[in-house]
Every structure is written in C-alpha cells, then in structure tokens.
Structure 1
Amino acid sequence: MPLLLEPFAAGFVQRGLVVGVLVALVCAVVGTWVVLRGMAFLGEALAHGMLPGVAAATLLGAPAIIGAAVSASAMAAGVAALQRRGRLSADTSIGLLFVASLATGVIIISASRSFATDATAILFGDILAAAPADILLLSIVAALTLVLAAVGHRSFVALTVDPRQAQLLGLRPRLAHVQLVGMVTLAVVAAYQAVGSLLVVGMLLGPAVAAGRWTVRIVSTMAIAAAIGSASVVAGLLVSWYTGTAAGSTIALVAVLAAPLSALLRGLATLRARTAPASPEPSVERTP
C-alpha cells in the first residue's frame, strides 16, 4: 500500500491525477457517443487537426489551448462544409482535411529549429506539468459537457437509432449531429493537454469500448467508462512513476488495453455462468 500511495504524495502528481480524472469524465461521456455513432475517425482527425493551431500559437507566444480550439473548430467546420456542399463521403472529407492539417502542422513545426520540446508535448502531452489553471479549465469543460449531454440526450438517441424517425419527431437530427461534433471537438481540445493529440483518441475509445461489454444502457456505459478511465489514469501514473515512462502515453496505453481486458473478463464471466451447475431445488417434506 505505501508503494501505491507514495507517488501521489508529490504535488505535481496530485494535479496530474485531478486533470486525468476530469479528462476521463469528459472522454467517457463523449466517447460513448463516438463509439455508438461510429465517429472514431472523426475524433482522430480532430485530434490531429489541432496540430497546426497549437504549433502556430506556440510560435506566436499565444496560449496553446486557444490555437487548439481554433484549429479543431476549423477542422470540424471544414468537414461539415465538404459533406454538405460536395459529393464526397464523410470518410473522404475527413481523410483529406486530416492529411492537410497534419501536413500543415509539420510544416509549421519544421519552420522553427527550437521546437522539439514543444512538439513532444503537443503530440504526447505533459499531464505532470498541469497547473491549477488547467484544473479550473477542465472543471468548466466537464460541467459543460455534462450539461450538453443531458440536454441533447433524447436527440442523440434518436439520431443514433433512426435519423429519419428523429426528423419526423421534430428532433432536428442535423443540429444534433452538429452538437455531437462540437462535443467531440471540446473533448479533444480539453484532453490533449493531458495525453497529447496523438493519444487523445485512446482516452475517447478505450474506456467506452470496455464499458460497453457490461451494459447496453447509455448512461450506465458513460458511468462505467468514467470509472475505467479514472482507473486507467491512476494505473498509468503508477506505472509511469516506477518505470520512468511518459505519463500521458502510459495512461493512454492503459486506457486502450482496458478494452481487450474487459472483453476477456466478460467472456470468462459468461463462460462461468453457462458452465455453473444449477442449484438443486429445496426439498419439501410432506406430512402424511
């Protein structure tokens, strides 16, 4: 037990833990919808789409979070515009903008000879460098995410089950889709500080997929995913502390590994339930 608690005696690890749990909460809520709606590719594209904005903001001396928000929002708007006005499919539109954003980010980074450290933080995160301001920002983002998810829950469910029926019910599925994309953008921008733009999709997908093995209810999936994500943060920080690995990358890997581990445990539980002998019925003595 002392070995488990020792790392969390350090103030920077405590701040990293709080930031990680808040990220896990946001990603659990949004990631559940990402998995249900099949929006994983969009989430990955938005994560990479932040790179040029963050790089430009860093070079200009502006807050990186602003650059990330502007760049990811531009990426989401570009995907929506291509889908609405052109004849391109969703995957094709996302793929084109994904490559363009990634290439632009690399070009901006290569223009500066002293960008190596900042680039590493952008790509892989630096959760142990979290400041009180980051905790405050993530707390606001988490609260906003919960409010948006609660307000739009009915529309999101109808959109996922049957968009045409949602339209007939007056739930405006196009607006609901825009709101979902906005929530994914918000989650990606908020989480990149902790695990970086390359690994943020792991926090979105891993816990949500793992939670889906144990329940079919959406709200329950979100709650279990939040617990799994938080546990991944704790485990990742511990492994990182004792092995000297990058904290953000370790957390993301643990979150991803939670999916196959959950599938294995669920399979074992199902097999055990099927092979368990039936309990004998209690005998009842009859009096003459």
Structure 2
Amino acid sequence: MSPWDFLADLANPDLAFLPKALAVATMSAIMCGVIGCYVVLRGMAFIGDAVAHAVFPGLAVAFVLSGSLVLGGTVAGVLTALLIAVVSQNRRLREDSVIGIFFVAAFAVGIVVISRAPGYAGSLQQFLFGSITGIPDSDLYVVAGTGVLLMLTTFLLHRGFVTVSLDRETARALGLRVFWLDVALYVLVTLAVVMAVQTIGNVLVLALLVTPASTARLLTERLAVMMWLAPSIGAAGALVGLYLSWSWDLPTGGTIVLTLAVVFLAACLLAPRHGLLARLAR
C-alpha cells in the first residue's frame, strides 16, 4: 500500500477507527516522549515497566464492570505509584525491590480478575498487545485532555524534575520536596502509560516511554532539544508504525515498537557524537 492509499483510508468514513487510532497513538507517543526524558535521565526505566503492569488490574476491573478503561487504569496506576513512593522511603529497602514487589502483585491481581470475565482469552490479548479497533470516541477526548494536563504539569515542575534527576542530595539541599516530586513524576508516568496502553498494549508500552527518549539522548547534548526531539521521534514512529501495520496486516503495537527500535539502532550507529561510527573515527 502506498502512502497515498493510506491517506485515502484515513479519510474513508467507513474506516473511522483508523484516524482515531492514529490520533491516540500520536498523542500517546508525544506524552510518553516528554515524560520518558525524565525516566531516561534518572535511569528509572524499571518504574515505567512497573507502572505498565500496575495499571493492568484497573483495566481488568473496568472491563469486568463495563466501565472506563482509562479511568480504571489511572486509579490503579496512581495508587500503586503512591504505595511505591511511600514504601521506598524505608532506607532498608532499595527502590527497585519495592517496585518489583508491587508491580508483580498488581499484575497478578489483574490476571485473576480478568480470568473471571467472559471472553477471557480475547480480552487478555487486547490488554497485553493493544487494539486499534476498540477505541471509543470518549477516550479520544480523554487522551487529549490528559495530554494537555500532563504537558502543563510538566512545564510547571520541569526545573524540580531535572534537579532531582541530576542530584537528589543537591535537590534536598536546595529545599526541594524530593518525595512529592517523585510522587508527581510517578503519577505522570502512570497517566502517559494508561493513555498509550490501548493502542500499543500493556507488554510493549515501556518501549514507547523509553526508546524515543533514549534515541534523543544519543542525538543531542542539550536537555531542551531532547525534550522536543523525543516526542517528535515517538510521534513519527507511531505514524510510520501504523502505516506499516495497516499496509501489511501486522500487529500495530509491535510494528510501532519495531519502528522505534530501528530508529534507535540507526542513532546508535550514526549519531554525530555518540554513535558507533563517530567513536571509531576518533
């Protein structure tokens, strides 16, 4: 399928789910790209994986009760993030240990809940790997509204996030409330993950959070540029991935992730300062 045919399908009223899927995928990629910059700077990719698993019981409960998947996933993810932030204050426990305990427990709860629902196998596959056909119009507005809220919050807390990411002790010495900044970041990660999980799936959503930001990290030394570059890479990957998946009848989530992975590998090889070829040329 040519790009022109793809554009024609996007404009086809009989394929109304396709532009909705593109809109949700693009907005989710932008949100994940922005928040992913802080995740990569702090070396906390594990928290993204934890949140992706933590939202699963909320999605499962919402599915069983025929409620909003977005609302269910958000509530479950935020509660788990708050628990992780609180329990992690115990200095005898490492943060990664606390995260591991909670995200495995949360995911197990989701498995148990969804197993009690009719159509267990199909619904589980939809949660784990995403679905471009099941996005209601209401969720499109929820994703857009959440995106605006997330961007505004990020703008207001950007300086604190960066300071904590670079040096937590310095942040404390400057009088910043590190605990509440951690909580805010966990909540923002949760919101970004919940918005993305419908299209790309629970299993693959970590890639949307980490891969564009990691690619941008290889391409620039400036944080401001990275904050613009990461969501742009994510949005482009979502567009190209959806086009390829629609053209060749491939799973949307997996195709988007593979597209972003190819871009990352190209950056690893060709980045002007940090790429493999640049290092060999020195």
- Fold conserved (TM > 0.5)? yes
- C-alpha distance 133-89 of structure 1, shift in aligned 2 (>3 A): same
- Structure 2 residue ranges without an equivalent (≥5): none
Q: Which amino acid aligns with 2:136?
A: A
Deviation at residue 166 of structure 1 after TM alignment: 1.5
Q: Does 1:5 align with 2:7?
A: yes
The structure 2 residue matched to 1:58, chosen from 55, 63, 80, is 63
Cα pair 1:206 1:257 within 8 Å, conserved = no
Deviation at residue 170 of structure 1 after TM alignment: 1.9
Cα pair 2:38 2:162 within 8 Å, conserved = no
d(CA) in 2 for partners of 1:201, 1:120: 17
Partner residue, 2:218: 213
The 5 Å alignment of 1:1-288 reads 1-3=3-5, 5-10=7-12, 11-85=16-90, 87-266=92-271, 267=275, 270=278
Question: 1:198 is paired with a residue of what secondary structure?
Answer: coil
d(CA) in 1 for partners of 2:228, 2:6: 25
Once the two structures are superposed, what CA deviation does each residue of 1:142-171 show, in whole Å capped at 9, x if it has no partner? 111111111111111211122222122222
Deviation at residue 58 of structure 1 after TM alignment: 1.0
Deviation at residue 174 of structure 1 after TM alignment: 2.0
Aligned length: 274
- C-alpha distance 53-86 of structure 1, shift in aligned 2 (>3 A): farther
d(CA) in 2 for partners of 1:45, 1:83: 14
Superposition TM-score, scaled by structure 2 size: 0.90
Superposition TM-score, scaled by structure 1 size: 0.88
d(CA) in 1 for partners of 2:277, 2:236: 21
Once the two structures are superposed, what CA deviation does each residue of 1:234-259 show, in whole Å capped at 9, x if it has no partner? 11111111221121221122223322
Cα pair 2:161 2:181 within 8 Å, conserved = yes
Cα pair 1:7 1:238 within 8 Å, conserved = no
d(CA) in 2 for partners of 1:241, 1:232: 14
Identical aligned residues as a percent = 35
Q: Which amino acid aligns with 1:158?
A: T
Cα pair 1:205 1:256 within 8 Å, conserved = no
Once the two structures are superposed, what CA deviation does each residue of 1:245-287 show, in whole Å capped at 9, x if it has no partner? 1212211222233221221221377379x58xxxxxxxxxxxx
Q: Which amino acid aligns with 2:263?
A: A
Question: 2:171 is paired with a residue of what secondary structure?
Answer: helix
- C-alpha distance 73-271 of structure 1, shift in aligned 2 (>3 A): closer
Partner residue, 1:282: none
Once the two structures are superposed, what CA deviation does each residue of 1:211-231 show, in whole Å capped at 9, x if it has no partner? 111112222112111111111
Once the two structures are superposed, what CA deviation does each residue of 1:105-149 show, in whole Å capped at 9, x if it has no partner? 111222235222221211111134333322211111111111111
How much is the aligned-residue C-alpha RMSD, in angstroms? 2.0
Higher Cα Rg: structure 1 or 2? 1
d(CA) in 2 for partners of 1:86, 1:159: 18
Q: Which amino acid aligns with 2:94?
A: S
- Structure 1 residue ranges without an equivalent (≥5): 276-288
d(CA) in 1 for partners of 2:78, 2:174: 29
d(CA) in 2 for partners of 1:60, 1:15: 24
d(CA) in 1 for partners of 2:229, 2:96: 30
Q: Which amino acid aligns with 2:129?
A: F
Partner residue, 1:281: none
Cα pair 1:57 1:67 within 8 Å, conserved = yes
- C-alpha distance 86-71 of structure 1, shift in aligned 2 (>3 A): farther
Deviation at residue 194 of structure 1 after TM alignment: 1.6
Question: 1:145 is paired with a residue of what secondary structure?
Answer: helix
